[in-house]
């Protein structure tokens, strides 16, 4: 990818913000869209700052609240980094943008790219499995908690050695986000979905950090049960990660640290979570392949119940205020 090409990042939360900041700092022309006005105002004033794992500040070409404000621009790549529940709001808007830009789906969960393919041709869509994570410390400041390199990116057009995937991998590696092009990106989205399905929903339900989940005997039993049944479902879907994958998962999760998962932060802020695309999807595939997945189904149901409870409380508060 030439540095003169334009990249639009939809969603400047932790995943999209870390991506956008690294590429902008490496000289790429990066534009950003996010509806959180305080965040956008701070980025305009101060630039975008990444702390902790890497530490630097950079500026994007332009940041706005809505993509309509960029209608005159022709982009080469559009990165969808909004939370998965927001995807239905984003795709119709992207259809109005000019040009034959490629779309990079940078989200958690399974089958996100298949939903995007209902709006755009498959040869325009790439999926990414990022192995970094972070939290927003304050408007315009994102804490990068870890990076277990490399990231993976792949095209869903089934073309071998897809030049676009290779180009994006090279671009990200140049920007200090080491990335490898994958022939079958689903191998890596499944693997990441398994890891995301373990600590995040338990922490979200209990309101604790991820290290606390691993330290407690009761929740550790749920952790191990979730890993085992998720591995079984992935195997039925055609993805076998080896006889030691259970142990590798446990060792990885033990390093999770004392920070909150984004699923818990979403619930605390009264926002919808990605549970339908993580545990909900694993449970769905379990039903499809006749593989029992009661722990995933239970996690999905409990998190959805908390979402609905938050929504009802918000509605009742608004009625009282009126």
Residues of the chain with CATH 1.10.1040.10: 189-313
At residue 184, what are phi and psi to the nearest 5 degrees?
-125, 95
CATH number attached to the domain at 6-183: 3.40.50.720
User: 158: closest CA among 181, 180, 183, 179?
Assistant: 183
How far is the C-alpha of 124 from the C-alpha of 97, rounded, in Å?
14
Provide CB contacts within 8 A for 2, sequence distance 6+: none
pLDDT tens-digit readout, 127-155: 999 999 888 999 999 999 889 889 999 99
At residue 287, what are phi and psi to the nearest 5 degrees?
-65, -40
How far is the C-alpha of 295 from the C-alpha of 239, rounded, in Å?
20
- The residue with tokens 């950079």 is 58
How far is the C-alpha of 45 from the C-alpha of 60, rounded, in Å?
11
Residues of the chain with CATH 3.40.50.720: 6-183
Q: 175 and 25 in contact (C-beta within 8 Å)? A: yes
Q: Which two tokens stand for residue 130?
A: 């990022």
pLDDT tens-digit readout, 260-276: 899 999 999 889 999 99
For residue 9, the tally of other CB atoms under 10 A from its CB is 28
Q: 80 and 105 in contact (C-beta within 8 Å)? A: yes
How far is the C-alpha of 2 from the C-alpha of 252, rounded, in Å?
36
CATH architecture of the domain covering 189-313: Orthogonal Bundle (1.10)
Walk along the chain (322 residues) and give the pLDDT tens digit of each residue: 446 689 999 999 999 999 999 999 999 999 999 999 999 999 999 999 999 988 999 999 999 999 888 888 899 999 999 999 999 999 999 998 999 999 999 999 999 999 999 999 999 999 999 999 888 999 999 999 889 889 999 999 876 778 889 999 999 999 999 999 999 999 999 999 999 999 999 999 999 999 999 999 999 999 999 999 999 999 999 999 999 999 999 999 998 888 889 999 999 988 999 999 999 999 999 999 999 999 999 999 999 999 988 777 654 433 333 3
């Amino acid at each position: 990818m030439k540095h003169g090409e334009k990249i639009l990042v939809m969603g400047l939360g932790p995943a999209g913000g870390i991506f956008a900041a690294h590429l902008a700092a490496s000289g790429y022309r990066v534009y950003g869209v996010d509806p959180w006005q305080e965040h956008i105002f701070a980025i305009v004033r101060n630039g975008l700052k990444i702390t902790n794992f890497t530490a630097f500040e950079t500026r994007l070409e332009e940041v706005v609240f809505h993509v309509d404000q960029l209608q005159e621009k022709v982009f080469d790549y559009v990165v969808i980094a909004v939370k998965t529940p927001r995807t239905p709001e984003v795709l119709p808007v992207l259809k109005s943008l000019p040009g034959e830009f490629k779309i990079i789906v940078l989200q958690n969960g399974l089958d996100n790219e298949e939903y995007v393919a209902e709006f755009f041709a498959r040869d325009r869509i790439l999926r990414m499995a990022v192995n970094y994570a972070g939290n927003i410390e304050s408007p315009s400041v994102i804490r990068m908690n870890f990076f277990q390199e490399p990231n993976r990116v792949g095209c869903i057009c089934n073309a071998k050695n897809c030049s676009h995937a290779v180009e994006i991998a090279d671009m990200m590696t140049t920007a200090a986000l080491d990335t490898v092009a994958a022939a079958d990106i689903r191998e890596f989205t499944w693997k990441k979905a398994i890891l995301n399905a373990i600590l995040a929903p338990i922490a979200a339900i209990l309101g604790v950090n991820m290290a606390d989940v691993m330290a407690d005997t009761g929740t550790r039993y749920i952790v191990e049960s979730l890993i085992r049944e998720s591995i079984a479902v992935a195997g039925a879907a055609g993805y076998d990660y080896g006889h030691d994958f259970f142990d590798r998962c446990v060792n990885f999760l033990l390093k999770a640290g004392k920070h909150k998962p984004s699923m818990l932060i979403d619930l605390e802020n009264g926002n919808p979570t990605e549970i339908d695309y993580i545990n909900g999807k694993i449970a769905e595939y379990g039903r499809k392949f006749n593989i029992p997945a009661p722990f995933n189904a239970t996690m999905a149901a409990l998190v959805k119940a908390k979402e609905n409870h938050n929504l009802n409380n918000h509605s009742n508060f608004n009625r009282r205020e009126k």
